[in-house]
Amino acid sequence: MNDFIYSYPVKVYFGEKAAAKALPAELAKAGKTVMVAYGGGSVKRSGVYDEICGYLKEAGKEVVDFSGIMPNPTYKKVQEGAALVKEKGVDFILAVGGGSVIDCCKIIAAQAVTEKDIWEMEFKDHVYPAEFLPMGAIVTASGTGAEMNNGAVITNEETKEKAGVLGAYANFAVLDPEYTMSLPDRQVISGAFDTLSHSMETYLGSPRDVTLSDEIAEAVMRNVIRNIRVLLKDMKDKKARTELMWASAMAENGILKIGKVTDFQAHQIEHQLGAYTDCNHGQGLAVIHPVLYRHMYKDGVEQFARMAEQVWGIPSDGKTPEELAEAGIRALTEFIQEIGLPSTFTEMGLTDKSVLKKVADTCNLTAGCCKKLTREEVLEILEECW
């Protein structure tokens, strides 16, 4: 395990009626004007919006609406939100939604208190914001774990980059599984697969010598696999949703990453694919993971073999590490098919194969990956995904 410093700033209110406990306590510390940010309106249809605004009015707050945050939030939307904050004198941002809404608000919270362009600061000057408007997160779609960290995935449509941008940590997060009940089934499963992806990408980072962090990651992965299967039998199973919501948080609150340089190569490839196609994140990861792993497992064979045994329950039975690793990748592939996620980009509905080279030429190549990929190999992986 590498040396580390660990600090965790987000206060979590978890469970039934968590918002009723969190908002009166936390907003007593905030100013009068609260911006409620959300996506396409599902929070209104589900009744969550009215419930949250009721708590805000009881607390004597003035509400400013900021709606229309898209599934792959754009930098233009960030700027729109920051302008609204300045115009209305917003004191606190409340993100109500899934990872996209929360990510967008993290960067709004940074952009709203500076005249500098956040994108240029981070990617040209390599300077990161240190001051933020305070914000909270109410999670209505779990899987991304966005409420647990200060990283945001934002698409810059002008430059055709979908990249990780650092912004604000939420002062607090509300995780009530009841708020996920109105989501489409496929969205719930895609989100849960994102949690599995986060755990795998952390687990396969370096060092690959099995640490306490890795053993916790194994438990998280087993939990996600088991509870996705429970949900497939009954999408209303509250216990399974509760477990998946906390697994999502555990995968991104830093615990699994302690002492690790993470991989996240699958995420980096999918992010750039999303910049060119606006594809569903969880589905893109489901297509990319098995193909990527077939290309890189020999460079991290012991860790892949352990994952096959400890996560997928494959007995070694005299198998070589390579054989065990291959069996684990097959188990992942079969699981993706079992839970109804796509196995190819064509199944996802992508039609323009010419974007693949653009994705390969522009995606970030990560330091923690088992194998340092070339752009030619990334293109080969993407073509095999088609």
Residues in CB range of 125: below 8 A, 6 or more apart: none
Q: What is the mean pLDDT of residues 23-38?
A: 95
- For residue 13, the number of C-alpha atoms closer than 13 Å in the C-beta half-sphere is 21
- Arithmetic mean of pLDDT over the chain: 95
Quick count: other Cβ atoms within 10 Å of Cβ 8? 12
Handedness of CA 342, 248, 271, 275 (dihedral sign): positive
pTM to 2 decimal places: 0.95
Q: How confident is the model at residue 5 (pLDDT cuts 50, 70, 90)?
A: confident
Q: Which of 162, 151, 256, 242 is nearest to 202 (CA)?
A: 256
Count the neighbouring beta carbons within 10 Å of the beta carbon of residue 353.
12
pLDDT in tens, 87-138: 999 999 999 999 999 999 999 999 999 999 999 999 999 999 999 999 999 9
The mean pLDDT of 204-216, rounded to a whole number, is: 92
**CATH number 3.90.76.10 given to 11-180:** no
State the Cα angle at 15 between 23 and 100, rounded to 5°.
70
> Where is average pLDDT lowest: 31-40, 207-216, 234-243, 260-269?
207-216
CA 17 to chain centre: 24
Tell me the per-residue pLDDT of 42-52, one tens digit each, with 9 for 90 and over. Answer: 899 999 999 99
What tens digit of pLDDT does each residue of 140-173 get?
Answer: 999 999 999 999 999 999 999 999 999 999 999 9
pLDDT at 6: 75
Of 306, 272, 307, 301, the residue nearest 288 (C-alpha): 272
**The pLDDT of residue 150:** 96
Return the domain boundaries, the chain.
11-180, 185-385
* pLDDT of res. 4: 77
CB 282 within 8 A of CB 190: yes
The SS3 assignment for 115 reads coil
Beginning with the edge strand found earlier in the chain, give each strand of the sheet holding 135-139 in spatial order: 11-14, 172-175, 135-139, 92-97, 33-37, 62-66
Say yes or no to pLDDT of 1 above 80: no
Amino acid at 142: S
What is the 8-class DSSP label of residue 76?
Answer: H
Nearest to 150 by CA among 134, 132, 166, 172: 166
Longest CA–CA span in the chain (Å) reads: 67
CATH topology identical between 11-180 and 185-385: no
What would the pLDDT profile of 271-322 be if each residue is shown by its tens digit? 999 999 989 999 999 999 999 999 999 999 999 999 999 999 999 999 999 9
Percent residues over pLDDT 90 in the chain: 94
The DSSP H or E segment spanning 118 is: helix 118-123
Task: For residue range 346-369, list pLDDT tens digits in order.
Answer: 999 999 999 999 999 999 999 888
Q: What's the whole-number mean pLDDT along residues 261-265? A: 95
Quote the CATH superfamily of domain 185-385: Dehydroquinate synthase-like - alpha domain (1.20.1090.10)
Q: In one letter, which amino acid is 178?
A: E
